[in-house]
Amino acid sequence: MNPVLEVIGVTRRFGRLEAVKDVSFTLHPGTVTGFIGPNGAGKTTTLRMCATLDLPDEGEVRVAGRSAIDDPRAARRVIGFMPDAFGAYSNTTVSEYIDFYARAYGLRGAERRETIASVVDFTGLGPLLDKETGALSKGMKQRLCLAKTLLPDPRVLLLDEPTAGLDPRARVEFRDLVRGLAQLGKALLVSSHILSELAEFCDSVAIVERGRMVAAGRIDDVGGKLRMSQKVRVRTLVECRRTVLFLAEQHGVRDAQELEGAAVFEIDGDERHLAELLAAMVSAGLGPVDFARESVGLEDLFMRLTGREGA
Amino acid sequence: MNAATEVSTTDFGDGWNPLFVKELRQSLRSRGFTVLFVLTQLVGAATAVAALLWGDPGPDLGPTLLTALATALGLGIVVVIPIFAFQSLAQEFEENTLDLLLLSQLGPGRIVLGKLFSALSQVLLLAISFAPYFAICLLLEGVDLILPATLLVSAVCLSAAATCVALGLASLARSRALRSALLGILTLALLFISMALLPALGQLVRQTQILRAGEFWGTYWILFVLLVFLAAMALMTSRAHLSHPEEAATMPARTIALIGAVVLPFAIYALPAARGMMDGNPGLVAMVALLVLVPAAVSFATERGSMGRVLARQLRGRRAYGLGAFLVLPGAGRGALCALALFILVGASSNAANAVFGTRASSGFFLGDSLAKYAVLASYAWIYLVPVSLICSLFGKWPAWRWVARLAYPLLAIVSILGGMLIGSILGDERMSDGYHLLNPVTTWGEMSSGFADRGVRALFAIAAAMTLFMVPRWIMNVREVLRATAPAASGAARPVGSTASMPTTGGN
């Protein structure tokens, strides 16, 4: 499937500060990608460049195969951007707000009415149409902004910290909306600091630090691609202590220890190394009966990739 | 309401600028406009009632009432409405809503125009609401139809120009501190202009024979044209600032330069006046020099870093509007010309200058001889920069219709000259109908060349030359960037961007 958004070697400088350096990634339809990085890592700058709100000093952003730098107007028809902070207009109801943006996106007549009805239905704003936008809660404002973003039916959605400041219920509801959008075939790039939350609905991650892309890909693949260490839990027929001693002598194995009747350790390398270790355990007569990799959590992955484990 | 009616009501305004509709609706519901409307109505009604009940019935009653009403309305539409417009655009920055607008199909131009037309609608509403009070004046002695009509049109035009300037200033206001400073400056400037115009208003109301003089309408036309130029200038500045966020980085330096260039000359101008050097050509020359050179120099120096990137992008995208904003009126030109416009406006209302500075730089009610010369030179510099920039634009590749926009500005200059001749013909003024008036460069330059030895004029030519020199590097840089940006496209070579082969990929199946 062709990517709908391609960010290719993008660099952005502010004076001497290199806010974004040679960042590349792609988004495909129907996927949700978490865009992760500490404060000041260049996430918002990258998102703004993707949204055509800023220009890269170098590199290219392609939206649906066309350069967003050469033709930002065309790109804006495909991209929806939801900034992290935005205000609602005073003296304006939800219905007027949505109607205004529908007109601003060039929707006319019946098409506008149908689109508004569909977006209001999807975001659940129906009961609030006559309410003033200034009186909405943070969660409802996020929904309103999402509704506005969905009006031109964008194929790519860039959401900058969409759940920041939301209460748990609003977060769950927003997460469901994001999932629903992915099912509709849209490509979503969601930046957030709440990594556990991203892990719940992201297929992939793009991790940036100090303006550089540290890793990008499916969450499970990123560790493997970067030859990350993996945590393994093994139970054997022999005494656990003997298993731990055996593992401690093996190449690439670290931190082998006994935990709740099983040996737990970390091993550098990919699945081939794991297979070799398992074969060695069988050959040594340890009798492994349970050999399981512990899944890599997003927070764990982020902390390791950004070199802050144990910090 | 049946379904068909509902649909037609809902679809009403599909072709209108949606921002205009939204802004107008918001404004009319706002507390600020409600208070302004009620206050002006109360003042208008109270003034009319007081004049009719307690006024001395005589030839002075009509003009006095008209002056009071025009002052009340003028303060509302020349001072308050432009401030509302400023806040409306500035709030888009404060609330982070501008990005949302820019991402829609509304361009920067439509955003600015939407806000402008919303403000103008409020102005018209206030002006129309004052019509009954003006009608009362017509019933009194000493006031004919032309006078209140002239005052109303003048106030609306001045308000429109002030609103354009307010929007231009608001487009600079990306930080809260800058916003507060600019709002303060705008408020003071508008109050100053309003107060400065009061003596002229009083004189006009009491000497209505001025309205029958060809000289008045000639001057009126010139001031009107200058206002149009100023308004267009401010709108282009605003639009360019919204389209090019890159300029934001150098905005504070250029804003400070611009403010300095406006404030300092006033101080310098006031100094010789205070010391009795009333005819002070040196003061005027210093004023023009600072107004032109400081913004031009600082603007050029601070802006060049971002130019290449912006130009390259626009050329690659074959999008002329942003490039046009830079080339037709590049940053240095914008700064200089904006300052020149202020100079002309202040200089033109010589009575106001006299009132404030105690100078006797002018001899007549309107443009005095010496001020007129500087105003002419300033306006020529303004007008002639456009064709020069137009030549630069030849290096770009433009969609055909963009040329209309590019040509609109010099065409406006030509129309302003022809308009003066037309007014001269209608009024039977031979000199004006022959094309002799301030905005006609041929006749006026010919006349002024006889006094070319005058030091002040010579200094102005030197300044114009210096200004051109300041612009030359910019033009060279523009040409270089144009050539650099177009060369790879012509040869089909790839741009030096990251390779897709090495990039990590997320998602996908």
Phi-psi region of A64 (alpha: psi -120 to 50; beta: other; left: phi over 0): left
* A chain contacts of residue B495, beta-carbon cutoff 8 Å: 60
Report pTM: 0.69
The residue among A89, A92, A153, A160 with the most chain B CBs within 10 A of its CB, best to mutate, is A89
Tens of pLDDT, residues A35-59: 888 888 889 999 999 998 887 878 8
| Closest approach of A168 to chain B, Cα-based (Å) | 25
Span A178-201, average pLDDT: 82
Does any CB of chain B come closer than 8 Å to the CB of residue A37? no
* A chain contacts of residue B497, beta-carbon cutoff 8 Å: 8-9, 58-60
Q: What is the pLDDT of residue B173?
A: 79
Q: Which residues pair with A32 in a beta bridge?
A: A188
Lateral strand order in the sheet of A212-218: A66-67, A58-63, A5-14, A17-27, A212-218, A204-209, A32-36, A187-191, A156-160, A79-82
- Verify whether the Cβ–Cβ distance A81 to B99 is below 8 Å: yes
The residue among A2, A66, A78, A103 with the most chain B CBs within 10 A of its CB, best to mutate, is A103
Which of A16-25, A226-235, B215-224, B298-307 has the least mean pLDDT? B298-307
Q: Which of B30, B105, B318 sits opposite A106 (nearest CB)?
A: B105
- Verify whether the Cβ–Cβ distance B497 to A60 is below 8 Å: yes
The residue among A91, A116, A145, A178 with the most chain B CBs within 10 A of its CB, best to mutate, is A91
- Verify whether the Cβ–Cβ distance B103 to A53 is below 8 Å: yes
Q: What is the pLDDT of residue B448?
A: 47
Torsion angle, alpha carbons of B492, B495, B497, B503, to 10 = 0
Q: What is the pLDDT of residue B311?
A: 52
CB B17 within 8 A of CB B23: no
- Verify whether the Cβ–Cβ distance B97 to A206 is below 8 Å: no
- Verify whether the Cβ–Cβ distance A70 to B246 is below 8 Å: no
Determine the straight-line distance between the first and last CA of chain A, rounded to whole angstroms: 40
- Verify whether the Cβ–Cβ distance A76 to B14 is below 8 Å: no
**B467 contacts: CB under 8 Å, gap ≥ 6:** B292, B293, B296, B336, B381
Q: Which residues pair with A23 in a beta bridge?
A: A10
Q: Give percent of chain A above pLDDT 70.
A: 88
- Please report the ipTM that was assigned to this predicted complex: 0.76
CB B263 within 8 A of CB B367: no
Exposure string for B490-508, b = 16+ CB within 10 A, e = fewer: eeeeeeebbeeeebbbbbb
Q: What is the pLDDT of residue B485?
A: 56
Q: Which of A33, A58, A105 sits opposite B507 (nearest CB)?
A: A33
Span A181-191, average pLDDT: 90
Q: CA quadruple B370, B373, B375, B378: dihedral positive or negative?
A: negative
Q: Which of B26, B498, B508 sits opposite A1 (nearest CB)?
A: B508
Phi-psi region of B505 (alpha: psi -120 to 50; beta: other; left: phi over 0): beta
**A146 contacts: CB under 8 Å, gap ≥ 6:** A82, A123, A159, A162, A174, A177
* A chain contacts of residue B100, beta-carbon cutoff 8 Å: 83, 86, 101, 145, 148
Q: Which of B11, B18, B103 sits opposite A109 (nearest CB)?
A: B11
| Closest approach of B411 to chain A, Cα-based (Å) | 30
Does any CB of chain A come closer than 8 Å to the CB of residue B3? no
Q: What is the pLDDT of residue B453?
A: 40
| Closest approach of B180 to chain A, Cα-based (Å) | 19
* B chain contacts of residue A111, beta-carbon cutoff 8 Å: none
Tens of pLDDT, residues A102-139: 999 988 888 899 999 999 988 888 888 989 888 888 88
CB B504 within 8 A of CB A24: yes
- Verify whether the Cβ–Cβ distance A8 to B95 is below 8 Å: no
Q: Which of A92, A103, A203 sits opposite B507 (nearest CB)?
A: A203
Helix, strand, coil percentages, rounded to 5, for chain B: 80, 0, 20
* A chain contacts of residue B318, beta-carbon cutoff 8 Å: 70
Does any CB of chain B come closer than 8 Å to the CB of residue A134? no
User: How many CB pairs lie under 8 A apart between chains A and B?
Assistant: 161
Does any CB of chain B come closer than 8 Å to the CB of residue A117? no
Locate A121 and state its tokens. 């239905």
Does any CB of chain A come closer than 8 Å to the CB of residue B10? yes
Number of H helices, E strands in chain A: 11, 14
Does any CB of chain A come closer than 8 Å to the CB of residue B450? no
Does any CB of chain A come closer than 8 Å to the CB of residue B99? yes
How many angstroms separate the CA atoms of B345 and B324, rounded?
A: 26
Domains of chain A, first to last: 5-220 (3.40.50.300), 229-295 (3.30.70)
> Residues 220-259, chain A: which have Cβ within 8 Å of B?
none
- Verify whether the Cβ–Cβ distance B310 to A90 is below 8 Å: no
Q: What is the pLDDT of residue B502?
A: 33
Q: Which of B317, B497, B503 sits opposite A71 (nearest CB)?
A: B317
- Verify whether the Cβ–Cβ distance A26 to B313 is below 8 Å: no
Which amino acid is present at B409? Answer: Y
- Verify whether the Cβ–Cβ distance A70 to B316 is below 8 Å: yes
Digit-by-digit pLDDT tens for chain B (509 residues) are 454 545 455 666 777 889 999 999 999 999 999 999 999 999 999 998 988 888 777 777 888 888 888 888 988 999 999 999 999 999 888 888 888 888 888 878 889 999 999 999 999 999 999 888 888 888 887 778 888 888 888 889 889 989 998 998 888 777 888 889 889 988 988 888 888 777 777 777 777 777 776 667 766 766 676 677 667 667 766 776 776 554 444 455 555 555 554 455 455 444 544 555 444 444 454 444 444 454 444 444 444 444 445 555 554 444 433 333 343 344 444 444 554 554 544 444 444 334 333 333 333 333 445 554 455 455 455 544 444 444 444 444 334 444 444 455 455 556 666 776 776 677 666 666 665 554 454 454 455 444 444 444 444 544 554 454 445 555 555 565 556 655 554 433 333 333 333 333 333 32
**B113 contacts: CB under 8 Å, gap ≥ 6:** B17, B20, B235
Ordered DSSP codes for A109-159: HHHHHHHHHHHHHHHT-GGGTTSBGGG--HHHHHHHHHHHHHTT--SEEEE
| Closest approach of B501 to chain A, Cα-based (Å) | 10
Q: What is the pLDDT of residue B410?
A: 53
- Verify whether the Cβ–Cβ distance A26 to B509 is below 8 Å: no
CB A30 within 8 A of CB A60: no
Rg of chain B taking only CA atoms, in angstroms: 25
Pairing state between β A17-27 and A5-14: antiparallel
Residue carrying the six token digits 């499916």? A218
The DSSP 8-state label assigned to residue A93 in this structure reads B
